[in-house]
Amino acid sequence: MRKSLKRITALALSACMVGAMAGCGNGDSGTTAAPKDNTTAAQEKTTAGGETTAAETKGGDSEKQVTLRFSWWGGDSRHEATLEAIKAYEKAHPNVKIEGEYQGYDGYYEKMITTLSSGTAPDIMQFHRDWIADVQGAKHYLADMSKLPVDLTTLDQTVLSGSGTYNDEPVLYSCSIGGQIMYVNKEFADKHGLDLEKVYTWEEIMALGKEIHDANPDEYLMTADIDVLNRLIILEYLAQMTGGSIVNEDYSLNFTEEQMTAALHNIKDLYETGTMEPFGESAVFVGQMEQNTKWVNGQIGILLDITGATAKYAASIEAELDCMSIPVMKDAKSSGVDFSGNMGFVINDASENKEEAAKFLDWMMNDEEAIKILKDCRGYPATSTAIDVMTKENLLNPVMKKATEIAGDNNPFSINAISGNTELETIRKDIIQEVIYGDSTPEEGAKEMVESYTELLETLKNK
């Protein structure tokens, strides 16, 4: 066998090839997603546990027995609150049974797209706004909520159109709103004279950062991982110059090479002045900035993130957590804050029980009882009803409330779907790191970025 391995390898490979070719012949049906009726099969399976299976053929709509599958990601507090809400809903609607399928964030998106493509996805899903374009762009997976019994009027209309709409159909019901903010260790701020009420310019921030680091080499004003640099700093800086998203709706670039050079220079300066903790040192905490030892120990004063992350950062330091506006350049065209609903719920278009799912969703978002149970377990609520109830009952986390107000004031913008394309992001992240590590200058980086963006957008447009 060993002697003839080469021949056999070739044989085996060509056999595979032939098999594959044959596979393509009767191709499409074989390789594509499973037939639709699997949804029913899967649903029946979940019901089989206790309840009798839905009698779909008979009975009035309101009395129909239905089982809804509802998936979300989160931590313990969110799981507990959501399960309690489900219980309350089931009590009020005895004909509805809701199966919660909850998990941590790790692998959630992968699971959702796998189940969507195979027709086994849950009826209601918690979704990131960033996923909408990829998912709905591929196929009409998500239900058009304007045709379902859910009250969309309580959502801020700019949030709904900016974050929840795809191809003129509202598909994502935002459950929280917010934008970019700087989380501040209050003790650190007091010690170093950081004025939380002031909107700093980038130059002022760097001057302060340099002062702090020069006085104590172990301290830095800020830290950031690659995602923050990419999503928060570069995009904000550009938006302050251009007033909008990096790519226009017609797939043309909304920035010039000079502007990108300036944005990359800004990042380089943040590191060179010692304002930012060296990239290599913070690289250990990529994706988990709240675990950064220097931040936890109060040697770093500021973390940039979106407003919804308040609880995570508040729990990570012993000092009090506060927040302030991100730096804004002089004569900025916008504050650079992308104020939108970054998380929400979608309804599976292939679901048999879209109506019931929508009713439950509406209840979660707009019913007083639900709001009191769910509180801010998914961040600062997006619906006017929820804000009213929570203000009245004094249930809003003060830091989160302040953060949301700061982010929402001061002329924010709302990023469009195409600008969130993951391939564009990947290119950006690479170039940012090349600039930081000195592999290329900001000028070279900006040139490369414009070139690869133009090429990529061309292919995306023709798709």
Partner 1 sequence: MAKANASAVPAVKKVRKLPRNWKWGVAFITPWIIGFLAFQLYPLLASLYYSFTDFSVLADGKWVGVENYVKLFTKDKHFLKSLWLTVKYAIMSVPVKLAFALFIAMLLNMKLRGINMFRTIYYLPSIMGGSVAVSILWKFLFMQDGIVNKALAVFHIPAVSWLGDPNMALVTVSLLVVWQFGSSMVLFLAGLKNVPQELYEAASVDGASKVRQFFKITLPMITPIVFFNLMMQTINALQEFTSVSIITNGGPNRGTYLLGLKIYEEAFTNSKMGYASATSWVLFAIVLVVTGLLFKTSDAWVYYEDGGMN
Partner 2 sequence: MSKSNAVVVTKARKKKTWKRIITYAFLVFVGFFMIYPLVWLFFSTFKTNTELFGKLSFFPETFTWEAFVNGWKGSGQYTYTTFYLNTFALVLPTVIVTVLSTGIVAYGFARFKFPCRGALFVLMISTLMLPDAVIIIPRYVVFNQLGWIDTYMPFWIPALFACYPFFIFMQMQFLRGIPRELDESACVDGCNPFMTYVRILFPLMKPAMFSVIIFQFLWRWNDYFNNLIYISSVKKYTLSLALKMSIDSQGAVTQWNQVLAMSFVSMIPPTLLFFFAQKYFVEGITTSGLKG
Binders of partner 1 among 201-240, rule CB under 8 A? 226
Q: Supply the minimum distance, in Å, between the C-beta of residue 417 and partner 1.
A: 14
What's the angle, vertex CA 18, arms to CA 14 and CA 21, rounded to 5?
A: 135
- Of 17 and 55, the one with the shorter C-beta distance to partner 1 is 17
* 184 contacts 321 by C-beta, under 8 angstroms: yes
In sign, the C-alpha dihedral spanning 231, 335, 267, 249 is: positive
> Which chain residues interact with partner 2 by CB under 8 A?
1, 4-5, 8-9, 11-12, 15, 31, 33-34, 38, 41-42, 45-46, 49, 69, 71, 73-80, 83, 99-107, 110-111, 114-115, 117-120, 122, 287-288, 290-293, 296-297, 308-309, 311-312, 314-318, 343, 377-379
| Binding span for partner 1 by CB under 8 A among 21-29, 38-46, 337-345, 401-409 | 21-29
Q: Is 461 in the site for partner 1 (CB under 8 A)?
A: no
CA-nearest of 212, 161, 159 to 189 is: 212
- Binding mask of the shown chain, residues 394 to 433, with x at each position contacting partner 1 by CB under 8 A: ----------------------------xx--x---x--x
**Does residue 37 interact with partner 1 by CB under 8 A?**
no
Q: How many residues does the chain have?
A: 463
Alpha-carbon gap, residue 342 to 172, rounded angstroms: 10
**180: three-class secondary structure by DSSP:** strand
Q: Nearest approach, Cβ of 344 to partner 1 (angstroms)?
A: 19
Q: Residues 292-331 vs partner 1: string with x where CB under 8 A?
A: -x--------------------------------------
DSSP per-residue codes, 436-455: HTTSS-HHHHHHHHHHHHHH
How many chain residues interact with partner 1 (CB under 8 A)?
52
* Spatial distance between the Cα atoms of 355 and 350, rounded to a whole number of angstroms: 12
Binding partner 1 (rule: CB under 8 A), the pick from 92, 278, 369, 458 is 278
CA distance 371 to 240: 35
Cβ within 8 Å of residue 387, ≥6 positions away: 381, 396
Binding of partner 1 by 95 (CB under 8 A): no
* Shorter beta-carbon distance to partner 2: residue 151 or 352: 352
